[in-house]
Structure 1
């Protein structure tokens, strides 16, 4: 029987053309995989964009 809970739906397929693949294992990813060759990435969530930055003290800062 199919589950009608929308939160249980399958994740969206990855977008193509990004140039790299990041593996997700047990709902976790390594931040080192995000920051290959850069110290800042942009995350799009719906219509909003967020900046995730790796600081000089190796901390993460997320800003809108």
Structure 2
């Protein structure tokens, strides 16, 4: 049985973000590397995404 891993483009699409945004994140170690291409399982991406801090930059100042 063939196992499928997500490339950075596929992982970004899976998360609903751009590839550029994905590449700026503190990513988990890839599950596999083929040549220079890194790959992650959906399980790895889901677990990492559930643990990463919220998005959106600085919190708003209270007035």
**Under a length normalisation based on structure 2, what TM-score does the superposition of the two structures give?**
0.22
TM norm structure 1: 0.22
More helix by share: 2
Structure with bigger strand share is 1
Select the structure of larger CA radius of gyration.
Answer: 1
